[in-house]
């Protein structure tokens, strides 16, 4: 069953790798970035994927909300609420160590990232991963490849999900974080086993708050890594009787959690960083300036993708160390986008708007879509902002951001009307109508905290 070019080779390589493992988890990340899994014993994975032609699963996975609520959009009804096919993707699989640690056994588990296809072998248009690959391929047709990584903040609670392991805001202090040395050690080891080593780990400026940065990778691998990392954090801390959450703001006393997206564009032909120009005044190339112009032009609409929950808008406010305006410069932590220009290898753009609750596939493709508009229309980058007070404000609610997105014809055309319409309907139906206007941490925690 061939669902895309080269699938036969992908399957052959995967089946060879699976011989070393007792259990194979076929993983699909839904619209919120939550992992959905079908497990197959390693002894029968060849039979299931090759002889039987693959596995079926409910086609409406991308219409299931953070609290497991579901709705039935027309795009799902059209296919009779039936099954889609789980198809492994051409990416390295990740060894899963936390599953076996939970039961203290020697079972070897492999997580294989998959995507969903309709039974007629066509792509599911509202799949975030399919969409990200389409935008990456568009860059490829321009002889460009994207090199990126996310840096995440998360909050750790004791097992009661109320008490913080430390009460001070001593960022970078090992004294306050020493209580978490065991889960942090296990997290590092599990990430290394998955070939996903952490770049840095540190205490952040918040009660129970930590930050981990990941090494950048080309293409879709950066988003794959980010979602596997989030799963690893949540599971590893749970095994040690802590609750880790990437919610933007999980309680009144908690600091806000971000998911900054760092990226640069590189030439497929020369291997050079296309954002770097040693002869320009700020060391940024015309392409980098155009990308900044495109992202800022669409900044308010992009906020719906970067901050996709009702809870996220507790973060986009003054005095939260988060952006709340359409702004950029080279150093401030309060701007929407920050440019780093130390050298060619370390010249990149940091989009600071995304929350820890973002889906990295959607962030990746939204950034490309907006940036390419800047390129194609040669949008001029606005002046840098030293003081954000006079800048245009970002949306203050999810419903406001979704309304702006609904009117952004470029993003709709670039990302596809099916995807954008589904995203807006999904968020309005399952989150905005349920939570917005309540101003209730309790209800927001019920919606998001268990799985984010």
pLDDT for the residue 176: 73
3-class state of residue 359 by DSSP: coil
Rounded to whole angstroms, the Cα distance separating 436 from 399 reads 8
Residues 371-404 as b or e (16 or more Cβ within 10 Å = b): bbbbbeeebebeebbeebeebeebbeebbbbbbb
Q: Find out whether 339 and 328 touch, Cβ atoms under 8 Å.
A: yes
Rounded to whole angstroms, the Cα distance separating 196 from 94 reads 8
- Mean pLDDT of each 10-residue bin along the chain, 452 residues long: 59 86 93 93 88 84 88 76 82 79 75 88 88 96 98 95 88 79 91 90 91 96 95 93 96 95 98 96 96 98 98 90 92 91 92 96 98 96 78 95 98 96 95 94 91 74
pLDDT for the residue 17: 85
Q: Find out whether 328 and 338 touch, Cβ atoms under 8 Å.
A: yes
pLDDT for the residue 80: 67
pLDDT for the residue 441: 92
pLDDT for the residue 50: 82
């Amino acid at each position: 069953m061939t669902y895309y070019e080269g699938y036969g080779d992908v399957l052959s390589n995967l089946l060879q790798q699976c011989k070393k493992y007792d259990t194979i988890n076929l993983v699909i990340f839904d619209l919120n970035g939550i992992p959905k899994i079908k497990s197959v014993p390693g002894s029968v994975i060849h039979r299931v994927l090759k002889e039987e032609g693959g596995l079926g699963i409910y086609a409406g996975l991308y219409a299931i909300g953070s609290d497991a609520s579901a709705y039935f959009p027309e795009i799902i009804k059209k296919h009779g609420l039936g099954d889609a096919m789980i198809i492994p993707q051409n990416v390295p699989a990740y060894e899963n160590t936390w599953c076996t640690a939970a039961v203290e056994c020697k079972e070897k588990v492999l997580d294989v990232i998959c995507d969903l296809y309709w039974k007629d072998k066509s792509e599911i248009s509202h799949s975030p991963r399919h969409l990200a690959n389409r935008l990456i391929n568009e860059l490829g047709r321009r002889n460009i490849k994207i090199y990126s990584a996310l840096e995440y903040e998360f909050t750790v609670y004791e097992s009661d999900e109320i008490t913080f392991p430390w009460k001070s805001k001593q960022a970078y202090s090992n004294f306050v974080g020493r209580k978490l040395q065991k889960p942090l050690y296990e997290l590092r080891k599990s990430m290394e086993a998955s070939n996903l080593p952490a770049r840095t780990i540190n205490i952040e400026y918040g009660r129970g708050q930590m930050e981990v940065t990941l090494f950048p990778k080309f293409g879709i691998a950066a988003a794959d890594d980010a979602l596997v990392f989030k799963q690893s954090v949540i599971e590893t801390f749970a095994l040690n009787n802590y609750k880790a959450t990437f919610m933007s703001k999980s309680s009144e006393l908690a600091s806000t959690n971000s998911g900054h997206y760092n990226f640069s564009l590189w030439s497929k032909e020369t291997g050079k960083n296309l954002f770097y120009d040693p002869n320009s005044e700020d060391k940024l190339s015309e392409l980098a300036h155009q990308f900044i112009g495109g992202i800022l032009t669409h900044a308010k609409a992009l906020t719906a993708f970067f901050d996709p929950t009702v809870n996220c808008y507790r973060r986009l406010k003054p005095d939260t160390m988060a952006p709340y305006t359409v702004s950029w410069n080279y150093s401030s932590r309060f701007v929407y986008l920050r440019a780093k220009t130390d050298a060619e290898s370390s010249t990149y753009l940091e989009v600071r708007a995304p929350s820890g609750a973002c889906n990295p596939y959607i962030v990746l493709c939204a950034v490309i879509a907006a940036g390419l508009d800047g390129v194609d229309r040669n949008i001029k980058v606005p002046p840098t902002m030293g003081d954000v007070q006079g800048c245009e404000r970002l949306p203050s609610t999810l419903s406001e951001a979704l309304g702006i997105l609904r009117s952004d014809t470029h993003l709709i055309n670039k990302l596809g009307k099916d995807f954008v319409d589904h995203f807006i309907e999904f968020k309005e139906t399952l989150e905005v109508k349920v939570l917005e206007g309540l101003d209730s941490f309790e209800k927001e925690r019920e919606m998001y905290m268990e799985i984010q």
